[in-house]
Structure formats: structure tokens, C-alpha cells
Amino acid sequence: MKWVTMWGNAQSKVLPAPATYAKDLTLRYPMLVPFDGNKIRITLDNFCVDEDINIESVAISKGDTLSDKQKEVTYLTFNGKRNVTIKAHKDIKSDVIDFDLKSDEYLIVNIYVKDYVNLTGGVDIIGPLSKGYFAYGNQVENEKLDIKTSKSTSWVYFLSNVDIYTDDSNKAVICYGDSITSQDWPGYLQLALREKGKKNIAVIRKAVSGTRILREYDCITYQSYGLKGTNRFVHEVSSVEGADMIIVQQGINDIIHPVGEDVNIFRPMSDLPTALEMLEGIKYYKNESDKLGLKFFVGTLLPIYNWRTYQEFRETLKNEFNSLLMDNYTTIDFNHEIGEISGGSWHFKDGCDSGDHLHPSKLAYKMMGDLASIYVK
């Protein structure tokens, strides 16, 4: 038996808003249980917030679907207490409790904040296995959240990992990246693996929309775009228990963000890297993954033709970077799977463009998940 992370997320800051604090708030997150286990612990993370946060209580329950309906709750403790303070830029694990879970069940995690707490730390995730809710008041023990005082949300606050004590044959694969990965394909990868009968693998997403390999923003306008690779990779990836593989799909924002200070003062053209500089960032990821004993895979970058900052030099840089990836690392060619060359540039195949010419459609995300499932053993 061993610990394996069965669910996980990265850490960043939320979209800027006038209000940065909340109180008397219940957060509820349902999640698919990938395999059996008999003990559980969770990690609360305050990595991107500059002050301590206080959590009044955390409770878990079982559910039947990705909904807010739950069964009897069990409270978790942290060093023997229900309430917990998480220091700025730190994380904390709950005490271990006995809790039987079966594959294909749903676990629900409830978090209640009583007094004012900084609510700027969070990450936005979507996909077929992603769901979240918030509710006013302490509704931790409610079988179902009050429909008049609750709402679904794609933002996950505080919760970074859920670990389960399980059979030695079970393991995790990490999907690391930016908005492409914070959206649907990791969920479709999990579903594809289960359709193939591979029910001993949990897909753990560590992704933040807008992140770059080599740069990060220091303004609230783009605070939700998160940290650069050297400031987030080790923190996020090393926290995953029982992983033996990582898939990195990142780099497009390094290419499409810089536009010049005359257009956007926060996006100077000096931020634009070379393909070799980006490759050095991937080398850093590979070296750190080797230290953690992870098999290392890289996904090729996707089409950007007609994206709002598209220019021929960006297309050339993207293609050069993809060629370097394929020459130097074991790659999963997402670009070729959902894209094709037309008129000298890569375009999304029919039905594979979400409409913004950057993010894939639901169909394309499923194709990416299906393709990635071939490499996960």
C-alpha cells in the first residue's frame, strides 16, 4: 500500500476584482475517485497569497455524481484541530483519517471560511471531470447546497491535492501547462484511460491559464496568469504522490503575449524568447522531473493561425520550437493530431477550433486526451 494523489491542481491568483476578501463562505468540490483506497489526506495551499489564511473547517463526504449533493460528512483535522491557519506562501497537509473509497465513486471536499480571508489564491479549471460550487453561510453539512444562496464555479481555492492510501499498483500521471491544460484534455485523458480498462491511473492537472515558461507578470492586470516555470514547477510537481510520468504542454504564451509597449506596457517585445531559450526552459523541467523519477513527455504546441496577435514570425518561432522538441524529447504530437498545414501555416482541422483560433474545441480536446492515453502505461 502507498499514498497516491488522486486529484490535484496548481496554484495561482484569481482574476483581479475590487473585493479581495470573503467570509462566511462554503466551498464544495466533487471529484471522481479513480481507484480504491482506505485512508485519505488533503493539502491546502497558500503558495500565491502574501498573508496567512484561516480555514474554519474542512469536511469530506461521498457523492454519486459531479454535483453538490453529498452524504454524511466527516470532518478533517490539522494537527488535531478542525480549524487551521496556513502561513503565507506555505501549504499544509491534513491529518490522515480512515475513509473507504471505491473506484468510480465520488468524493466531495467542503471548505468553510468563517472570518475574513484573502480569497485571491485560486486556479480556474474546466473539463468533463471538473466542477465546483460556492455558497453563502456554513453549508458544510447540507446534503445539498441551498439553490438560492449557492452557485457553480470553475475556480478552485485553497485545495491543491487529495491523496489516497491505495494499492501499490495504482499511480498518477501529471499534466503540466497553461490554459490548454487547465481546460479539457486532462479530463478526457482520464476518461480515455478508464475506457481502455486502465483504472489504476489518476490524471493530476497542474495548469494555470496564461502561464509562460520563461516570464511572469508583476501587475494585478495579469495576476491570474501565474508564475513562470522556475517559480512554480517544483512546488507543483513534487507535491504529487505516486506519480511516475509527466506530460508538459506549455510555451504558446511565451510566443503570443509580447506585443510591444506601444500596444501594452506590460507586454514588451523584449519578453519574446528564442526557440533555444524556450528549449532551455524545457530542459529545466526535464532535469527536475528526472530528480523526481518521472518519465518525461512534451506535447507539441498547437495552431495559432488567426489568433489576435498572430504574425508570421510567431508561426516561425512556434514551428522551430516544435521541431526542437521533437528532436530532443519524447513528444506527443498534439499539433499534428488536431492541426494541419494550409497555405504554409498550421490551422486547426475542421471542428477542432473553439472559435478563438488558440484553444481547441471539445472534440479536439477529446482527440488530445485519446492520443495522450496511448503513451500512458
- Domain parsing of the chain, residue ranges: 2-165, 170-375
Rounded-to-integer distance, Cα 196 and Cα 372, Å: 12
Q: How confident is the model at residue 332 (pLDDT cuts 50, 70, 90)?
A: very high
pLDDT at 49: 96
Contact predicate 90/50, CB 8 Å: no
How many of the other CB atoms lie within 10 Å of CB of 231?
13
Q: What percent of the chain has pLDDT over 90?
A: 99
Report which residue type is found at 119: L
pLDDT at 329: 98
Cell numbers placing 164: 489516497
pLDDT at 72: 95
pLDDT at 253: 98
Q: How confident is the model at residue 171 (pLDDT cuts 50, 70, 90)?
A: very high
Rounded-to-integer distance, Cα 144 and Cα 70, Å: 6
pLDDT at 130: 97
**Alpha-carbon dihedral of residues 163, 103, 68, 15, nearest 10 degrees?**
50
Task: Collect all residues with Cβ–Cβ distance below 8 Å to 200 and sequence separation of at least 6.
Answer: 34, 35, 167, 169, 170, 171
Task: Collect all residues with Cβ–Cβ distance below 8 Å to 277 and sequence separation of at least 6.
Answer: 214
Q: What is the pLDDT of residues 1-51, one digit of tens each?
A: 999 999 999 999 999 999 999 999 999 999 999 999 999 999 999 999 999
Report the mean per-residue pLDDT for the chain.
Answer: 97
Mean pLDDT value of segment 146-170: 98
Strand pairing category for 295-299 and 201-207: unpaired
Mean pLDDT value of segment 90-95: 98
Rounded-to-integer distance, Cα 367 and Cα 57, Å: 40
Q: How confident is the model at residue 365 (pLDDT cuts 50, 70, 90)?
A: very high
CATH dotted code for 170-375: 3.40.50.1110
Q: How confident is the model at residue 267 (pLDDT cuts 50, 70, 90)?
A: very high
Q: What is the pLDDT of residues 269-307, one digit of tens each?
A: 999 999 999 999 999 999 999 999 999 999 999 999 999
Could you give the residue ranges of the DSSP H alpha helices within the chain?
179-182, 185-195, 229-237, 252-256, 275-291, 312-328, 334-338, 362-375
> Where do the DSSP E strands lie in 78-170?
84-86, 91-93, 97-101, 106-113, 117-118, 122-124, 133-136, 150-152, 155-157, 159-166
Could you give the residue ranges of the DSSP H alpha helices within 44-184?
179-182
Report which residue type is found at 292: L
